[in-house]
């Protein structure tokens, strides 16, 4: 059983920064891709960023230049979020899978989510 656990969410003022972490535990888990998605009330889950084990990275246009995804060698993925805006408010989910993709359907494992709230 694989578990992904996100930490680091919270309340921050617009223009501030937060760093999210996601750590995988359980059976041997070496996903090719790890990604971050987010979901706001009344909206569909949307892609934020993804990182492939070979180094390929992709970002949603809405976060390009403000967010940075990174991975360490121990199945932990981070999302550094700078210059946060109120529209970044959402529950952020970590995901792991075999395909490098911006589609949530391509990911096999998901964390429980962590709330990020940006006040204006």
Work out the end-to-end distance of the chain between its first and last CA atoms, rounded to an integer number of angstroms.
40
Match 């934020």 to its residue by tokens. 48
pLDDT of amino acid 81: 98
pLDDT of amino acid 109: 93
Q: What is the mean pLDDT of the chain?
A: 94
pLDDT in tens, 17-64: 999 999 988 777 778 899 999 999 999 999 999 999 888 999 999 999
- 3-state SS, one letter per residue, for the chain: CEEEEEECCEEEECCCCEEEEEEEEECCCCCCEEEEEEECCCCCCEEEEEEECCCCEEECCCCCCCEEEEECCCCEEEEEECCCCHHHCEEEEEEEECCCCCCHHHCCEEECCEEEEEEC
């Amino acid at each position: 059983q694989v578990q992904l656990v996100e930490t680091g969410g919270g309340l921050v003022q617009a223009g501030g920064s937060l760093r999210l972490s996601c750590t995988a535990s359980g059976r041997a888990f070496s996903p090719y891709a790890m990604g971050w998605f987010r979901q706001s009330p009344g909206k569909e889950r949307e892609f934020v960023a993804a990182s492939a084990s070979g180094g390929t990275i992709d970002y949603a246009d809405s976060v390009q230049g403000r967010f940075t995804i990174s991975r360490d060698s121990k199945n932990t993925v981070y999302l550094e979020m700078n210059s946060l805006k109120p529209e970044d408010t959402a529950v952020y989910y970590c995901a792991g899978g075999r395909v490098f993709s911006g589609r949530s359907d391509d990911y096999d494992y998901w964390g429980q989510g962590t709330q990020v709230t940006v006040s204006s």
